Amino acid sequence: MLKHICRLCHSTNLSTLIDFGKRPITKRLLISPTLPQSAEFTYQISLNVCRDCGFVQISDAIPQDELYTNYVLSTSWKPQPHLKDELDELLKNRYISESSFVVEIGCNDGIALELLRQYGVRNLLGIEPSRDVAEKAAESGFMVINDYFMEGKADFIVTQYGKADLIICRQVLEHITYIDSFMHGIQELIKPGGTVLFEVPDFSIPLKYGDITATWEEHVNYFTEDTLIQLLARYGFRSLILRRYNFSGGALCVFAKYSSEKFSSFRLVNEEELNYILCYPQRIESFLKKVVDVLKEEKKGGGKVAIYGAGNRSVILLNYRLKEFVDIVVDDQPEKQNRFVPLCHLPILPPDELIKQHVRVCLLAVNAENEESVMQKNKNYEENGGKFLSVLSPSAYLIGKNELKEQKRCARNL
Ligand SMILES: [Zn+2]
């Protein structure tokens, strides 16, 4: 077997943090539950940690074409209240003006480009590998290159339009197996002194709460504040501003300036920090034990349990541990209703089934920022004696949250 190489520091000193065994692709909801499990696409997956720099990663990723071809869900159905704040920050700090040339890598259906256009920025270009959403962005009048971005791909853009004043890259870097090539491409594309805005999921949150649902097959890189800043420094970007947002389990946003010089040598992880990461599997087990104990108690006397949300985090949780304690899955999106969860084959139904089926407890598996609106929409369920509890960090309603001791965060000041 080939030795794995850390995507961040290039060390080969990696070890397995969690071996998940075989998992399905979480987005492939089933039309029928009759398909034998052996006929479903699964893959062997494990989470590794670099013992030198502490970067957590999935080394053996599913091939991109398997994951992203005909990627049908666009980003805009999911509200992103923090997006405006990020773009306001760009304006406030004069990182862009109306004449700036802005490139967004992974522009999806153009939600951020649209906001920038409303702000008066005219020179906008999107790069998006997924055809369906790239077409949507193009229909909105944006120049879009339907391709993956990597080293060498910037030549055409630079020749045609010049170098970029600002590169936006939101919720992309965690998907990239070829980080070196990707960052070299950004170096080719950006002006000296130009700005980058990187947004990634904040792994320090699931790490703290023992939340396994962050370990999604589409995310091969798990950044904390520390590792994101180190990565940028390695390619000549000095991080200037960091923002955290309560979005999709926690998002980290860094604004950095390109100085074309490496100004930081790689910091090795210390024993305490490494130990904290190595204890992640124990925190997962401890959290899941609490959840299972609650569900066992609720199911005494035949009470039913539901899970709200059929997204990737819910599918991971069900197949990893909770399937035998959950009776139904409910979801607001009509396109997911009357389908079945891959592997465990639980039915996905509309939320009114919570009352119809006399569900005793409903586990919220929606992102924390959406929980209040879900509970508000389903007030009748609670008035009928139902109960909501959360299973996704960093929810205020997370099972066992009050018992969680404040843990030391592995973070530094910028
Ligand atoms: Zn490393």
Residue 331 tokens, joined: 């979801």
Number of folded domains in the chain?
A: 2
User: What is the arithmetic mean of pLDDT over 100-126?
Assistant: 95
pLDDT of residue 78: 66
**How far is ligand 1, taken at its centre, from the CA of residue 257, in Å?**
23
pLDDT, one tens digit per residue, over 146-196 is 999 999 999 999 999 999 999 999 999 999 999 999 999 999 999 999 999
pLDDT of residue 37: 67
Residue 255 tokens, joined: 């604004």
pLDDT, one tens digit per residue, over 184-202 is 999 999 999 999 999 999 9
Domain match, 236 and 296 both: no
Average pLDDT, the chain: 90
pLDDT of residue 113: 96
Could you tell me which residues are beta bridge partners of residue 35?
none
User: What is the arithmetic mean of pLDDT over 11-25?
Assistant: 93
Residue 359 tokens, joined: 């569900």
**How far is ligand 1, taken at its centre, from the CA of residue 49, in Å?**
8
For 217, other C-beta atoms within 10 Å of its C-beta total 20
Domain match, 293 and 258 both: no
**How far is ligand 1, taken at its centre, from the CA of residue 83, in Å?**
30
pLDDT, one tens digit per residue, over 296-317 is 999 988 889 999 999 999 999 9
**How far is ligand 1, taken at its centre, from the CA of residue 310, in Å?**
34
C-alpha 112/C-alpha 101 separation (Å) is 14
Domain boundary among 237, 266, 295: 266
Domain boundary among 232, 266, 300: 266
> Does residue 39 lie in a domain region?
no
Domain boundary among 266, 294, 310: 266
Range of the domain at 357: 280-401
Q: Is 105 exposed, middle or buried (0-12, 13-18, 19+ CB in 10 A)?
A: buried
**How far is ligand 1, taken at its centre, from the CA of residue 245, in Å?**
26
**How far is ligand 1, taken at its centre, from the CA of residue 2, in Å?**
17
Domain match, 252 and 304 both: no
C-alpha 270/C-alpha 280 separation (Å) is 16
Domain match, 244 and 311 both: no
User: What is the arithmetic mean of pLDDT over 69-80?
Assistant: 56
> Does residue 10 lie in a domain region?
no
CATH number of the domain that 361 lies in? 3.40.50.720
User: What is the arithmetic mean of pLDDT over 240-245?
Assistant: 93
Cβ neighbours of residue 302 closer than 8 Å, sequence gap 6 or more: none
Could you tell me which residues are beta bridge partners of residue 50?
14
pLDDT of residue 75: 52
Domain match, 235 and 305 both: no
**Residue spans of beta strands (DSSP E) within 171-289:** 190-201, 221-222, 237-245, 251-258
CATH number of the domain that 202 lies in? 3.40.50.150
Domain match, 286 and 253 both: no
> Does residue 56 lie in a domain region?
no
Domain match, 186 and 328 both: no
Helices (H), 279-370: 280-299, 312-317, 353-356
**How far is ligand 1, taken at its centre, from the CA of residue 56, in Å?**
8
Domain match, 118 and 158 both: yes
Domain match, 254 and 285 both: no
Helix, strand or coil, per DSSP, at residue 404: coil
**How far is ligand 1, taken at its centre, from the CA of residue 10, in Å?**
6
> Does residue 407 lie in a domain region?
no
> Does residue 17 lie in a domain region?
no
Domain match, 317 and 252 both: no
Greatest Cα pair distance, the chain, in angstroms, is 70
> Does residue 20 lie in a domain region?
no
Residue in this structure with the two tokens 């920038």, named with its chain if needed: 116
Is the pLDDT score of 413 beyond 50? no
Range from 12-16, 23-27, 85-89 that averages highest in pLDDT = 12-16
pTM of the shown model:
0.91
> Does residue 305 lie in a domain region?
yes
**How far is ligand 1, taken at its centre, from the CA of residue 50, in Å?**
5
User: What is the arithmetic mean of pLDDT over 97-102?
Assistant: 94
Domain match, 294 and 230 both: no
> Does residue 51 lie in a domain region?
no
Percent residues over pLDDT 70 in the chain: 93
Cβ neighbours of residue 173 closer than 8 Å, sequence gap 6 or more: 179, 182, 198, 200, 221, 223, 228, 231
Instruction: Find how far residue 410's CA is from the centre of its chain.
Output: 20
Instruction: Mark residue 399 as left, alpha or beta (left: phi above 0; alpha: psi -120 to 50; beta: remaining).
Output: beta
Domain match, 324 and 290 both: yes
Do 222 and 190 touch, CB atoms closer than 8 A? Answer: no
User: What is the arithmetic mean of pLDDT over 110-131?
Assistant: 94
